[in-house]
Amino acid sequence: MSLDLPQVLPQVNALAEEAARRLENLEQLLRHANDGLSQAGQLERSAILERIARAGEHWPGAIPTLEPLEAAFECPPLPPEFNVVAADGSQVYPDRHSLSLFYLINTGSICVRAGRGTPPETVSRPQVVYEEEDLYGQFDGLIPSAMIDGQRDVAEMAELARLGAASKGKPTLAILDNGLLLWVAHQAGISLSPQVGKLLASYLEHLGELKSADVAVAGFIDRPRNDNVLSLIHLASATQGAGSEESGRRHPWRGLTDRALFSGRLRPFQRSARFQHASPVNQRFRDAGHAVEFFYLCLAQGHIVRVEIPAWVGERPELLGFVHAGLVDQCSTPEGFPYALVRAHELAVVTMEDRQALEDMLAGALLDRGLSASHSRKSQTKQWTGARRRHRL
């Protein structure tokens, strides 16, 4: 172990003290934010939308839907028979110190046929990418990690679309372990590169396939740090005044989250009102007929998660209720996180042992063809010093 723990200890203690001080401060801020939400709840929706329009396209808040801002909805019943599908992905980035340049995307998925008692169907799909065109493409140098993440996200959505099509005719809940806005496009903001645009188009196409199959799609975000509803409260608060673009952009409750706000407002299994993302990339989703909405869901006292859904799910009560009840049901075992997502992750994850086995396989294949199979000197020295030997026998 190279971390000098005695040196770290006083810093860790200071960190804990700071966390306790911050919590005290946040409780005060939370009272203000709660009052703000009550006040915003009294405003006409049109007045709020007018303020949002004035705040400009970079405003990072939540756009109200037709549901009252302060509403809390009870969990509806589940359909008697249904399927739950989930997909997750992992990746190995290209490493110039490795034996050869390549990257890997591994997608894991599961289809649970609820109520049948049969083992779920599980799939793991590895894809090794090594063509020069894919490794370099139009980029300056190697493909950026964010693009590989984007390809992984598209692969996850494609897998959900495949499972959704196979489940057609039976109520099906499709879950992703994250938000629904394609992250690489979300980060790119208003101007997308052609490569990101292509990924986004493919992602939206798969979302369209899920819509055609009537699948209730949901992105599940545990311990969310978002503050979109706080931004909305700030913008709509009476004291904030006319809401100029600059003053409305950021709320004054730094460190506070929507999760904290709703943890005092929702009882177990209740959901909040739906809101729409004000992110610029959501306009592209909206144009394609898949505007992304979200709500907060209480899974146990104080355990709030964020759920993202396409507007076509939010606007259909049977699909919305199915997402709500389906997620509550999925989170009963293990407590607080969907079973199907735990398994999809397990099927997708590339462990250090997997990676070592992949490298061994690659070394064998290269040597068979008379090619050199060696790591860079830097990588070799890290291997020498990184693993401590133990003599057990």
Partner 1 sequence: MTQQPPLIGRVTRSSTRGFVGAIRAPEPDIPVFGSFCKADAQQGRSSVIGLIYDISVEDDGFTRQIATSPSAKPEEIADAQFNRHVPVEFSAVAVGYLAEDGYRYALPPQPPLSMATIQSMLPGEVRDFTRRTEWFSLVLGAPEIPADELLVAAIRFAAQARPQSERPPFLREAGGRCARLLGRDLVRLETVLGSLSG
Binding interface with partner 1 (CB under 8 A): 112-120, 122, 332-335, 339, 342-343, 346, 392-393
Nearer residue to partner 1 within complex by CB, 13 or 333? 333
Q: How many other C-beta atoms are found inside a 10 Å radius of the C-beta of residue 197?
A: 14
Three-state DSSP state, 2? coil
Task: Give me the least distance between CB of 349 and partner 1, in Å please.
Answer: 13
Report the nearest approach of partner 1 to the CB of residue 118 (Å): 6
Cα–Cα distance measured from residue 186 to residue 63, given in angstroms and rounded to the nearest whole number: 17
- Cβ closest to partner 1, residue 16 vs residue 393: 393
Q: For residue 242, count other CB atoms closer than 10 A to its CB.
A: 8
Q: Taking the complex as a whole, how short is the minimal distance between the CB of residue 297 and partner 1, in angstroms?
A: 18
Burial class of residue 349 (count of CB atoms within 10 Å of its CB; 0-12, 13-18, 19+):
middle
- Which lies closer to partner 1 via its Cβ, residue 61 or residue 120? 120
d(CA 299, CA 200): 32
| Cα gap 190→385, rounded to integer Å | 45
Query: What are residue 284's phi and psi, to 5 degrees?
Result: -65, -40
CA angle 64, 69, 72 (to 5 degrees): 125
How far apart CA 250 and CA 252 sit, in angstroms, is 7
Whichever of 83 and 226 has its CB closer to partner 1, that residue is: 83
Q: Letter for the amino acid at 312? A: W
Report, in this order, helix, strand and coil percent for the chain, each rounded to 5. 50, 20, 35
For partner 1, the closer of residues 206 and 343 by Cβ is: 343
Residues 7 and 15 sit within 8 Å (Cβ to Cβ): no
Of the pair 96, 116, the CB lying nearest partner 1 is at: 116
* CA distances, 371 to each of 2, 88, 115, 386 (Å): 36, 35, 54, 27
Nearest distance from C-beta of residue 81 to partner 1, angstroms: 12
Shorter beta-carbon distance to partner 1: residue 90 or 272 = 90
Cα distances (Å, whole numbers) of residue 164 to 112, 175, 257, 320, 389: 12, 11, 33, 17, 48
Q: How far is the CB of 359 from partner 1 (least distance, A)?
A: 16
Q: What one-character DSSP code corresponds to residue 66?
A: S
Smallest distance, partner 1 to C-beta of residue 311, A: 31
Q: Which is nearer to partner 1, 10 or 80 (CB)?
A: 80
Min. distance of Cβ 169 from partner 1 in angstroms? 19
Is 183 buried (19+), middle (13-18) or exposed (0-12) by CB count in 10 A? middle
Using the minimum distance from each CB to partner 1, give the nearer residue, 63 or 340: 340
Report in angstroms how near the CB of residue 86 gets to partner 1 at its nearest. Answer: 12
Nearest approach, Cβ of 333 to partner 1 (angstroms)? 4
Element holding 299 (H helix, E strand):
strand 292-300
Q: How far is the CB of 98 from partner 1 (least distance, A)?
A: 22
In the bound state with partner 1, the residue whose beta carbon lies nearer, of 56 and 334, is: 334
Q: What are 272's two structure tokens?
A: 């909040």
Pairing of strands 172-176, 82-92: parallel
